[in-house]
């Protein structure tokens, strides 16, 4: 789909109909794609596994970019400008809810995943998440940044969710494992959580795929009526990487180790992928907050720096 829709920019093109129609032919192609992997040699499956792991990592990065774009949109829509007289009560309400959910979530994580003081890894992970939330809140309120609490509140909720997801992916062994997790034999909760995971990933993939403005270096292009509403090739490549990400969840990011029955996205590899994703997301957001002030200071220093006479 990426190859056949690449470069489609107008609604009257034949490839636009192929993108949004031709479902009988697409169903046949889909059925063939399901059967082909059973006859492909394992060496190609292993090769695709390495490519899929890379694609899944890129998908996480694209999700982060889309998340930052969504946060900026929320901040511009519901938070007033610093020089205006608007109150922004709804933005303040969302900020309060976000921070209450963030700190309450951190407290719940301590209760569920730190049953005793010997759980050093869980204590460090949750505490570091709390530090990141505090740093983001402090930086966003700094006079040189003046970003407000809405964007940092939403981002704080997001990284707390990533922390919970990482701890939830820990292997179900040891004394630090939550007693409220899914049982070893699998039950209805496993099926429900699996369906929720499918729906959330599909929604995230779809929203990221159509949010092509997040990945454009220039957003000043005029949108005409006959233009496609979004980039079809980006939509399909994001969905392909979303499928790669879901494949990694099925095998817990481990290419050479079998997964246990009734388990999905459980293992130390999955745990570390999510922890690194959380730290990277917080770092990118903090840099996004401080970069205008840092770059502004550099420009001022270069402007007032005395020029040495050349000989």
13 and 62 in a single domain? The answer is no
Give the C-alpha separation, 230 to 260, whole Å: 40
State the pTM of this model.
Answer: 0.78
139 and 158 in a single domain? The answer is yes
Range of the domain at 81: 42-304
28 and 51 in a single domain? The answer is no
- Contact (CB, 8 A) for 128 and 109: no
The first and second tokens of residue 207, run together, are 């929203």
Does residue 311 lie in a domain region?
A: no
Instruction: Return per-residue pLDDT of the chain as tens, 311 residues.
Output: 888 888 888 888 888 888 888 899 999 999 998 999 889 888 888 898 899 999 999 888 888 887 888 888 888 877 766 555 555 677 788 889 999 999 999 999 999 888 888 888 999 999 999 999 999 999 988 877 777 788 889 999 999 999 998 888 888 665 676 544 444 444 555 566 567 667 767 776 677 666 655 555 455 555 667 778 778 888 888 888 888 988 888 888 888 777 777 677 788 888 999 999 999 999 999 988 888 877 776 665 555 555 555 44
**Could you tell me which of 172, 169, 166, 190 has the C-alpha nearest to residue 266?**
169
Strand partners, 10: 227
The predicted structure's pLDDT at residue 247: 87
148 and 280 in a single domain? The answer is yes
The predicted structure's pLDDT at residue 15: 85
Number of folded domains in the chain? 2
- Contact (CB, 8 A) for 226 and 38: no
DSSP code, position 10: B
174 and 244 in a single domain? The answer is yes
79 and 5 in a single domain? The answer is no
67 and 159 in a single domain? The answer is yes
116 and 143 in a single domain? The answer is yes
The predicted structure's pLDDT at residue 192: 64
Does residue 32 lie in a domain region?
A: yes
Does residue 87 lie in a domain region?
A: yes
271 and 203 in a single domain? The answer is yes
7 and 52 in a single domain? The answer is no
25 and 128 in a single domain? The answer is no
The predicted structure's pLDDT at residue 304: 56
133 and 272 in a single domain? The answer is yes
Does residue 188 lie in a domain region?
A: yes
């Amino acid at each position: 789909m990426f190859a056949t829709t690449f470069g489609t920019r107008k609604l009257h093109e034949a490839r636009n109909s192929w993108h949004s129609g031709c479902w009988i032919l697409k169903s046949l192609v889909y059925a063939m794609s399901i059967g082909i992997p059973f006859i492909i040699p394992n060496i190609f499956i292993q090769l695709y596994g390495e490519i899929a792991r890379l694609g899944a990592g890129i998908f996480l990065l694209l999700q982060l970019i889309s998340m930052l774009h969504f946060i900026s949109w929320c901040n511009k829509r519901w938070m007033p400008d610093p020089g205006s007289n608007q109150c922004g009560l709804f933005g303040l309400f969302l900020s309060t809810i976000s921070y209450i959910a963030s700190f309450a979530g951190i407290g719940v994580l301590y209760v569920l995943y730190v049953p005793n003081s010997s759980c050093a890894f869980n204590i460090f992970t949750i505490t570091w998440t709390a530090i990141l939330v505090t740093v983001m809140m402090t930086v966003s309120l700094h006079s040189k940044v003046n970003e407000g609490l809405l964007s940092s509140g939403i981002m704080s909720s997001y990284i707390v969710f990533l922390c919970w997801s990482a701890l939830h992916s820990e292997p179900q062994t040891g004394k630090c494992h939550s007693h409220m997790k899914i049982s070893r034999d699998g039950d209805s909760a496993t099926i429900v959580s699996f369906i929720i995971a499918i729906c959330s990933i599909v929604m995230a993939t779809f929203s990221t795929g159509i949010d092509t403005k997040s990945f454009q270096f220039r957003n000043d292009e005029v949108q005409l009526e006959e233009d496609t509403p979004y980039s079809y090739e980006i939509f399909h490549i994001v969905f392909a990487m979303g499928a790669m990400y879901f494949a990694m969840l099925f095998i817990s990011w481990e290419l050479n180790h079998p997964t246990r029955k009734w388990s999905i996205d459980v293992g130390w590899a999955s745990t570390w992928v999510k922890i690194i994703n959380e730290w990277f997301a917080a770092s990118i957001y903090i840099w996004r907050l401080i970069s205008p002030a840092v770059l502004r200071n550099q420009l001022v220093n270069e402007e007032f720096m005395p020029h040495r006479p050349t000989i």
